[in-house]
Amino acid sequence: MALLAVLAALVCATLAATGAAGVRVELTRIHSGVTASQFVRDALRRDTHRHNARQLAASGSGAATVSAPTRKNSPGGGEYLMTLAIGTPPLSYPAIADTGSDLIWTQCAPCGTQCFKQPAPLYNPASSTTFGVLPCDSSLSICAAALAGAAPPPGCACMYNQTYGTGWTAGVQGSETFTFGAAAADQARVPGIAFGCSNASSDDWNGSAGLVGLGRGALSLVSQLGAGRFSYCLTPFQDTNSTSTLLLGPSAALNGTGVRSTPFVASPAKAPMSTYYYLNLTGISLGTTALPISPNAFSLNADGTGGLIIDSGTTITSLVNAAYQQVRAAVKSLVTLPAIDGSDSTGLDLCFALPSPTSAPPAMPSMTLHFDGADMVLPAESYMISGSGVWCLAMRNQVDGAMSTLGNYQQQNMQILYDVRKETLSFAPAKCSKL
């Protein structure tokens, strides 16, 4: 997820078994009826936890396209959910789409007191004819490294305990058939997907039934499908009814005059940084004014610190403090409304008091993120957020030298293509609710 660090406690244990393609998935966003202030505060809390955990952790081509429906989870949720199905017969479930991690997992029955409430029925491996425990020495087993080439004990299954910045989950690694696509005619069934069958988790997953890692590691859905590329279009944050589609495989493409492309920066070899999609952000403009930010403010250092990643699981963009303060000052200079500190109510430190809770915010120029070879233009509604009579800069500061993150709030209404073979990110403005 955005600002999450992946920490895993790996154990091999004996457990009796309970008896690539291209892909299309729709994304949704979870709604819980909370105020905008509560939403931002909760999203920032989750983002901060992810960032802190990351900082601690840092001291084949498919034959067809796989698709998944995607939607915003809720007005109070900061994630986008993709819908897919698991097992035989297939059981549909919503999972957080996360380019900042690799493991695919869902809650499994039996699940005791350490499980969270989810909108879909629990997947039961005993009810599926295609479930199998993943062998400890599988190339996709988290425990393979712990074995160090030694033969696993008979019946060995890999028990994992994976910690994210926003929570944790634990269970056994399995292998299953996953089904993608909403309409029967467009469905694709992919056997042998390695996933986490969790029977204990924290209560922090915001309307989902699990998570789908879309990172650069071998365990991610992208890598297991050999997709080569994938794309998504995140619907506006306030639109909780529309869906868009996540595409993995050949049909994930962007064409047109408005498309811009920038190369990925090579990721550090060390986990978890090896999972992230790094970009080279060289500057930021507000309107026609280029802000006085050092061109190396976002550089990825040789020791793996610094840099900027794009993350569909993080909500609010974070910028190293030297850059954030320039953005903050520029925004403040253009707004004549009374400035207030929204740290307590929203978690955002630059907010403005609107004349009334129903007042429309004033007009603001676009903000441009200057990437290597490509400019990403953000309209005001993608960098400012309003609600409950306040209007805030939807960005936060990061300690200089720490990793910056381009969150999903800034990615709304943008069609984005990750070409992992060509090592490029492409993007273009779009009305995602209409795609």
Query: 115 and 236: one domain?
Result: yes
User: Mean pLDDT across the stretch 118-140?
Assistant: 93
Query: 50 and 120: one domain?
Result: yes
> What's residue 208's pLDDT?
92
Residue 434 domain-assigned (yes or no) = no
Among 42, 98, 102, 419, the active-site one is 98
Query: 181 and 140: one domain?
Result: yes
Give the residue, 76 or 105, on which the prediction is more confident: 105
Reply yes or no on whether the pLDDT at 191 is more than 90.
Answer: yes
In three-state secondary structure terms, 149 is: coil
> What's residue 36's pLDDT?
55
Answer yes or no: 400 catalytic. no
Question: What Cα–Cα distance (Å) separates residue 19 from each residue in 30, 92, 137, 190, 381?
Answer: 33, 20, 19, 19, 50
Query: 36 and 171: one domain?
Result: yes
The CATH number of residue 422's host domain is 2.40.70.10
User: Mean pLDDT across the stretch 156-165?
Assistant: 85
Query: 215 and 82: one domain?
Result: yes
Query: 286 and 345: one domain?
Result: yes
Residue 255 domain-assigned (yes or no) = no
Give the residue, 46 or 134, on which the prediction is more confident: 134
Positive or negative: CA dihedral 161, 84, 267, 309? negative
Question: What Cα–Cα distance (Å) separates residue 171 from each residue in 86, 97, 111, 161?
Answer: 16, 20, 10, 7
d(C-alpha 75, C-alpha 85), whole Å: 25
Q: pLDDT category, 65, cuts 50, 70, 90?
A: confident
- 377-400 pLDDT, tens digit per residue, is 999 999 999 888 899 999 999 988
Q: Rounded to 5 degrees, what are φ and ψ at 105?
A: -155, 155
Query: 379 and 314: one domain?
Result: yes
Task: Give the sheet arrangement for strand 374-378, strand by strand.
Answer: 289-290, 281-286, 367-371, 374-378
DSSP 210-251: EEEE-SSSTTSHHHHHT-SEEEEEBPPTT--S--EEEEESTT
Query: 211 and 342: one domain?
Result: no
> What's residue 61's pLDDT?
38
d(C-alpha 284, C-alpha 163), whole Å: 33
β-strand 348-353 against 281-286: which pairing, if any?
unpaired
Reply yes or no on whether the pLDDT at 421 is more than 60.
Answer: yes
As to burial, measured by CB atoms within 10 angstroms (0-12 exposed, 13-18 middle, 19+ buried), residue 409 is: buried
Query: 238 and 296: one domain?
Result: no
Residue 154 domain-assigned (yes or no) = yes
- 218-268 pLDDT, tens digit per residue, is 999 999 999 999 999 999 988 878 888 899 999 999 988 899 999 999 999
Q: Which amino acid is at 364?
A: M
Reply yes or no on whether the pLDDT at 113 is more than 70.
Answer: yes
Q: Which of 228, 248, 268 is the last residue of a domain?
A: 248
CA atoms within 13 A on the CB side of 63: 4
Query: Which structural domain range is residue 397 located in?
Result: 260-429
Give the residue, 309 or 34, on which the prediction is more confident: 309
Residue 420 domain-assigned (yes or no) = yes
Residue 163 domain-assigned (yes or no) = yes
Token pair recorded at residue 423: 């090592």
Give the residue, 293 or 18, on which the prediction is more confident: 293
Among 42, 47, 102, 311, the active-site one is 311
Query: 239 and 295: one domain?
Result: no
Answer yes or no: 204 catalytic. no
d(C-alpha 191, C-alpha 21), whole Å: 10
H helices present in 204-351, as ranges: 221-225, 321-334
Q: What is the count of structural domains for the chain?
A: 2
Q: Which of 248, 282, 307 is the last residue of a domain?
A: 248
- 43-52 pLDDT, tens digit per residue, is 555 555 445 4
> What's residue 46's pLDDT?
52
Query: 320 and 240: one domain?
Result: no
Residue of 251, 80, 49 whose CA lies nearest to 168 = 49
> What's residue 92's pLDDT?
94
Residue 253 domain-assigned (yes or no) = no
Residue 254 domain-assigned (yes or no) = no
Are 80 and 312 in contact, with CB atoms under 8 Å apart? yes
Query: 302 and 420: one domain?
Result: yes
Residue 178 domain-assigned (yes or no) = yes
Token pair recorded at residue 417: 């293509």
User: Mean pLDDT across the stretch 190-204?
Assistant: 93
